[in-house]
Structure 1
Amino acid sequence: MTLRWTPATERADLLADPVARAVTTLGAGVEVAEIDPELADTAAFCERYGVTLDESANCVVVAAKRGGETRYAACMVLATMRVDVNGVVRRHLDARKASFAPMAQAVELTGMEYGGITPLGLPADWPVLVDTHVAEHPRVVIGSGVRRSKLAVSGATLAGLKGAEVLALAN
């Protein structure tokens, strides 16, 4: 099955509400394609739709704790890589402990569906840590905030998001 890409501003029905709001401010360059929600997980999506893992980027929500305070951040890495949460991310966020945020908490805080969380439309005070490989990519496929679609966007667009920082995140 092939993906039919459309400007995301024309298909807000395929986006989570916070993502739809963010896309309107980004304008051109963000495309959306409808997919089978049962195939939203990266490996299944890539296999079914012919997208390679190095063209797909995952958004990981991290909870960073220090002195009784918890702060959240989003990390963007290619699907072929793993985020170094306990090393690079923990140190960068100046946290005593960092871990993947629990699913229910990530869903509640982002207003997005698990398996569709994306850096577009996250809470304004969250840092968005973009791996250098993602930032340099001409076009990556990412979540749309819901499981029934995917976004295509340039790495430069992700690196240019408010609160974004480009780092070597993978171990």
Structure 2
Amino acid sequence: MNDPTAALLPTLGDLDWVPAVGRPDLLADPVAAVLTAWAGVDDRAATSVAVAEIDPDHADTATLNTVHGLPPEASANCVVVAGRRGEVERVAACVVPATTAADVNTRVRKLLDVRKASFLPMERATRETGMEYGGITPLGLPAGWRVLVDERFRAPGSLALMGSGLRRSKVLMPGPLLCELPGVEVVADLGVVRG
């Protein structure tokens, strides 16, 4: 008998996509926890969020796209940025298409309302997220961090291929669904096209 949810599950390239909620072993613990909780209140977490195992040596966006025939415009890069306003630190995860770069010095800095914004050091980002470098994703981030998502992912039919919290797998979901995640702020021109 065919699984009725299989028709809803997004696929891309030649990777073997399966429902993410059914493979917590392919997700970092915070990612698995948030997807499980989300699936309890929204069926789309179970039917529209996929995960695929990859070779960790292929986790880099350009390599993954080349090896598996993935369109660069579907890849979503997630970078963590921080700045201070007085004694208060403000942290945000910025999700932009891989064909762009997060506009940290102008757009993100203004959104955080800080004098200077910079990338969070790798060691701190991995420690605080509970995720591996190269696999950080907007799913399951620490409370208090803002999640800024480029509005390009809101386009009908768009997909968001992103980290799973681990370097050995990737998550895939419809872009509009990413934009609807609790706490997400959709931002115009968050990413600037690479020169």
TM-score relative to the length of structure 2: 0.84
Task: State whether residues 160 and 178 of structure 2, in contact with CA within 8 Å, keep that contact through their aligned partners in structure 1.
Answer: no
1-structure distance, mates of 2:142, 2:174:
21
User: Match of 1:166, SS?
Assistant: strand
Task: State whether residues 64 and 95 of structure 1, in contact with CA within 8 Å, keep that contact through their aligned partners in structure 2.
Answer: yes
Check if 1:124 corresponds to 2:136. Answer: no
Which amino acid in 2 is paired with 1:15?
L
Q: Per-residue CA shift, 1:73-126, capped at 9, x if unaligned?
A: 110100000111010111011111101111101101110000000000001211
Please name the residue that 1:7 is paired with: 19
User: Match of 1:116, SS?
Assistant: coil
Which amino acid in 1 is paired with 2:191?
A
1-structure distance, mates of 2:153, 2:121:
24
Q: In percent, how many aligned pairs have the same letter?
A: 55
Which amino acid in 2 is paired with 1:68?
E
* Aligned partner (choices 85, 91, 95) of residue 66 of structure 1: 85
Larger radius of gyration: 2
* Aligned partner (choices 146, 158, 183) of residue 138 of structure 1: 158
2-structure distance, mates of 1:167, 1:153:
19
Check if 1:152 corresponds to 2:172. Answer: yes
CA RMSD of aligned residues (A): 1.3
Q: Which runs of 5+ in 2 are unaligned?
A: 1-12, 40-44
Please name the residue that 1:54 is paired with: 73
Following TM superposition, by how much is the alpha carbon of 1:60 offset from its aligned partner in structure 2, in angstroms? 0.7
2-structure distance, mates of 1:97, 1:66:
9
1-structure distance, mates of 2:154, 2:77:
13
Which amino acid in 1 is paired with 2:164?
S
Which stretches of structure 1, 4 residues or more, deviate above 3 A after TM superposition?
Answer: none
User: Match of 1:82, SS?
Assistant: strand
Q: Per-residue CA shift, 1:103-152, capped at 9, x if unaligned?
A: 10110111000000000000121111000112325322110000000000
Check if 1:170 corresponds to 2:191. Answer: yes
User: Match of 2:191, SS?
Assistant: coil
2-structure distance, mates of 1:135, 1:13:
29
Check if 1:94 corresponds to 2:94. Answer: no
